[in-house]
Amino acid sequence: MPVPRSVAAHQAAVAELLTTGAGHPAGEHLPLLDALGRVLAVDLYAPLDLPPFANSQMDGFAVNSSDLPDGGAELRVADPVPAGAAPAPLERGSAAPIMTGAMIPEGADAVVPIEAAEPDSFPPAGQDDAMVALPATAPGTYIRQAGSDIPAGALALPAGTRLGPGQLGLLAALGLATVEVRRPLRVLLLTTGDEVVEPGRALAVGKIYDSNSTLLEASMRQAGLHVLRAGIADDDPRKLLAVLEEHAAQVDLIVTTGGVSKGAYEVVRQAMDGHAVEFVPVAMQPGGPQGIGRFHGTPFLGFPGNPVSCLVSFEMFLRPALGSVHGSPAARPVLRACLAEPLTSPAGKHQVRRGYLDGGGTVRLIGGPGSHLVHALATSNALVHIPAHVTELPEGAEVEVWML
Amino acid sequence: MPVPRSVAAHQAAVAELLTTGAGHPAGEHLPLLDALGRVLAVDLYAPLDLPPFANSQMDGFAVNSSDLPDGGAELRVADPVPAGAAPAPLERGSAAPIMTGAMIPEGADAVVPIEAAEPDSFPPAGQDDAMVALPATAPGTYIRQAGSDIPAGALALPAGTRLGPGQLGLLAALGLATVEVRRPLRVLLLTTGDEVVEPGRALAVGKIYDSNSTLLEASMRQAGLHVLRAGIADDDPRKLLAVLEEHAAQVDLIVTTGGVSKGAYEVVRQAMDGHAVEFVPVAMQPGGPQGIGRFHGTPFLGFPGNPVSCLVSFEMFLRPALGSVHGSPAARPVLRACLAEPLTSPAGKHQVRRGYLDGGGTVRLIGGPGSHLVHALATSNALVHIPAHVTELPEGAEVEVWML
């Protein structure tokens, strides 16, 4: 029996497997909103200044600061400058009412907020002899300079950036209507086992419904993968091989579930005999037995067959590797929480339990360690990590949790 | 000038606005994977036991524990029980090789793991006179009892549950191919301002590109809303009213951006004159001026016009209200982090800064407090909260951050 590999070592192996693939898939151009959650394919440089022009940070008066000596001065009120207008140059000795975001007129170099003016309101439209008393004001006051957020030509976002609302908002502000993003990785997902039946069909004695396919496809979709489902393979390795041969060349990654353990009917192990796939014990519970390698050159991961093991395998190995190698998804937020109850954990294994983290920072374990407890999983909101060297923890002990 | 409303008071007002709407929209039945991220419309009861039958937790031998007295016994090896098979009853005095997940045969009440057997491997297929020595074993050992995860008839998930991979995996395990989810809320999104131009078009002097629509539609899509975009309204309140009149009856919520402040051209304020919408200052920066109320009965929120103000308004008010009233989206993970630098904050205002939280728990502020800094927003990964009563914080001070 081989010495189990540490979680960190297997994480590195999975990242290495994805890194040494065919490189990033080619890019595709998408309208901004279709690119939500996708990854920028190229370094993106600002095609214009942001802000595009100097503009007012306040509702107030645009002035030439040299018209306002110490003690201030009374200035003639010029025509107002609304946002969106191309204003006339400011005449010396005058002050132009200006709205937040409106362009600073030529000849103006500062804004005095309306609250600092006397009177502290704008004269009615049409009055052409209004005057306003304004205090001394330093040049640049309340002006957002052109390019002060980002200047034209600067790197706006590097290739590999995940595009969320803020990033897409920046692209829109830069005037871009489309963006080049990496194509999603294509993954072939295949559940194995004689006992497994598609949901919605009748369930014969001794059979169970396939939850792995749904659980993993949902996880993979959330992580931005394009999933090709090849259905359920029974325990005949020749049939499994036939499915893999048919689809391997069309995908960037193959993921199977089940058939990787040490029992008598381990279909994935049998099918991979002679291929560059190894089956390694990882010092983790659940999700200990793992297959990893290549099938005709295509990266291959063999997850164990229980649903919780599948989810834990995905969260511990594939999801972080996708994030680090391909820029998406973002890592799970890592929190520290206090255990609501004591626990024990097997020596030498990194245990991953399911739990419910409440708003007060306390995490309650949901269900036992059993990897078949899919209802317990469904009522959890976090994974709870117990490091390999820890065998028991008291109530109130601090643990690392990952929010699902 | 009215006294500013606290952030908590406005959060409550927005939640109240959504609560007193037309109730939850009617449900729709979707295939499981199309329901990812949606919200369960009804209480869902388990149609079957999980596990559906007692099964083995280990690869080993199914036995009748009364055949194994203290000190154990040698038993005849019966036909093996693979996963997925309906096994023959176990004869007294025999032990059936059984695989993980396989059904416990009638007459068996415990499993002895293969590692505890002598010999510790299964006899080859076809050998019909094999014997195995097994230790004394308590009834129930290594058996996953039918219904031990959830019994048939029990509440599996309550109405309002957000359906992620774990929840969909449970529904699949229960044999369900479809699920009834709430219809997404429909929101009419309208950007206002004479200065605002659609990305991809030419930019005249004094104009800026509309980033609010993209930023907010992306945020709303992530939050599960169905967004109807009504384009950009200029500063003519009659045109804005015409667009709202046309669409208000088709949506569950109206969100506008811009035109809610105290300047001379506040189109949303002008258009809402005579409608049940109030414009309130909230003690928050950015995002202080907020419109809230109803337009012909449809809930209405008027966000301010700068992009960072829009995002902060969405994250502080609308997103939490959707989560608490409609069950989705999940709340942002709240973390405590240490400031990488000192900061100051205006007295009496809850300030929301943008920052980058590193893996070590330190948050660095990105850009200044200016609400136009969309590049700074795009390179941030967190919102940093400075409570209203705090005016300065030293480097290293602990702050609350929300992961974006």
Report the SS3 class of residue B84: coil
Q: Is residue B165 part of a domain?
A: yes
Q: Is residue A2 part of a domain?
A: no
List the one residue out of B94, B39, B15, B19 whose CA is nearest residue B61. B94
* A244 in the same domain as A206: yes
Whole-number Å distance between alpha carbons of A253 and A293? 10
* B52 to A203: CB separation less than 8 angstroms, yes or no: yes
pLDDT at B258 over 60: yes
Count of other CB atoms within 10 angstroms of residue B99: 26
pLDDT at residue B24, as a whole number = 60
* B95 in the same domain as B13: no
List the one residue out of B130, B141, B235 whose CA is nearest residue B191. B235
* A375 to B46: CB separation less than 8 angstroms, yes or no: yes
* B305 to A378: CB separation less than 8 angstroms, yes or no: no
Contacts of A87 in chain B (CB under 8 A): 206
Summarised one tens digit per residue, pLDDT across range B21-74 is: 555 667 899 999 999 999 999 999 999 999 999 999 988 999 999 999 999 999
What CATH number is given to the structural domain containing A385?
Answer: 2.40.340.10
* A122 in the same domain as A13: no
CA A280 to chain centre: 30
Of B268, B293, B326, which residue is a domain's last?
Answer: B326
Tell me if A277 sits within 8 A of A292, measured CB to CB: yes
Distance from CA of A349 to the nearest CA of B (A): 18
ipTM above 0.90, yes or no: no
* A86 in the same domain as A60: yes
What CATH number is given to the structural domain containing A193?
Answer: 3.40.980.10
Bridge partners (DSSP) of residue A257 are A191, A303
CA A123 to chain centre: 50
Confidence of residue A263 (pLDDT cuts 50, 70, 90): low
**Interface residue A228 vs chain B (CB under 8 A):** no
Higher pLDDT, A334 or B392: B392
State how many domains chain A has.
Answer: 4
Q: Is residue B313 part of a domain?
A: yes
Bridge partners (DSSP) of residue B362 are B338
* A391 in the same domain as A281: no
Q: Is residue B115 part of a domain?
A: yes
Q: Is residue B1 part of a domain?
A: no
* B286 in the same domain as B392: no
Summarised one tens digit per residue, pLDDT across range A288-303 is: 999 999 999 999 999 9
Q: Please tell me which residue of chain B has the smallest CA distance to A202.
A: B175
Report the SS3 class of residue B320: helix
Summarised one tens digit per residue, pLDDT across range A62-78 is: 999 999 999 999 999 99
pTM, rounded to two decimals: 0.89
Q: Is A45 left (phi over 0), alpha (psi -120 to 50) or beta?
A: beta
* B218 to A164: CB separation less than 8 angstroms, yes or no: yes
* B399 in the same domain as B342: yes
Domain span including residue A175: 29-49+160-182
* B208 to A80: CB separation less than 8 angstroms, yes or no: no
List the one residue out of B78, B36, B281 whose CA is nearest residue B171. B36
* B171 in the same domain as B110: no
**Interface residue B229 vs chain A (CB under 8 A):** no
Q: B91 is written with which tokens? A: 């004869």
What CATH number is given to the structural domain containing B96?
Answer: 2.170.190.11
**Interface residue B1 vs chain A (CB under 8 A):** no
**Interface residue B151 vs chain A (CB under 8 A):** no
Distance from CA of B214 to the nearest CA of A (A): 5
What dihedral angle (degrees, nearest 10) is formed by the CA atoms of B124, B126, B131, B135?
60
The answer for residues whose C-beta is within 8 angstroms of residue A104's C-beta and 6 or more apart is A53, A54, A55, A56, A62, A87, A98, A111, A143
Look at strands A73-77 and A94-98 and give their pairing.
parallel
What's the distance, Cα to Cα, between the start and end of chain B in Å?
A: 34
pLDDT at residue B317, as a whole number = 98
Which of B201, B208, B352 would best serve as a mutation to test chain A binding (most A beta carbons within 10 A)? Answer: B208
* A296 in the same domain as A189: yes
* A281 in the same domain as A191: yes
pLDDT at residue B21, as a whole number = 59
Whole-number Å distance between alpha carbons of B285 and A120? 23
Of A326, A354, A378, which residue is a domain's last?
Answer: A326
How is chain B split among helix, strand and coil, in percent rounded to 5? Answer: 20, 30, 45
* B197 in the same domain as B312: yes
* A170 in the same domain as A123: no
Q: Is residue A381 part of a domain?
A: yes
Contacts of B209 in chain A (CB under 8 A): 172-175
Q: Is residue A152 part of a domain?
A: no
Helix A212-222 and helix B165-173, axial crossing angle in degrees, nearest 10: 160
Whole-number Å distance between alpha carbons of B193 and B307? 13
Distance from CA of A20 to the nearest CA of B (A): 26
* B170 to A83: CB separation less than 8 angstroms, yes or no: no
* A177 to B200: CB separation less than 8 angstroms, yes or no: yes
Of B297, B326, B355, which residue is a domain's last?
Answer: B326
Q: Is residue A154 part of a domain?
A: no
Confidence of residue B219 (pLDDT cuts 50, 70, 90): very high
